Amino acid sequence: MKIIPEQFHELETICNTINDDNARCVTFISLHGAEGSSSACISIARRLQSQNKSVLIIDLNPISSFNIDEHLPNLTNEWRFDDISCQLSVLPYKEVNILTIKNLSAIESAKNKQVLNEAIIRLKQEYDYILLDMSPALKLNRNNVPLHSISLCSDLTLVTVGLGINDEESLCEGVRELKQAGHSNIKVLVSQHDFAPLGERILLFLESRKEKWPKLCTLLKNKIHKQKWLFKHY
Nearest Cα to Cα of residue 90 among 51, 47, 53, 131? 131
CA atoms within 13 A on the CB side of 196: 7
Q: State if pTM tops 0.75.
A: yes
Nearest Cα to Cα of residue 100 among 113, 85, 117? 85
Residue 194: predicted pLDDT: 58
CB 139 within 8 A of CB 32: yes
CB 119 within 8 A of CB 152: no
What are the per-10-residue average pLDDT scores of the chain (234 residues)?
53 90 96 85 91 94 68 66 90 84 83 92 96 90 85 95 83 94 93 70 88 91 86 67
CA distance 224 to 205: 12
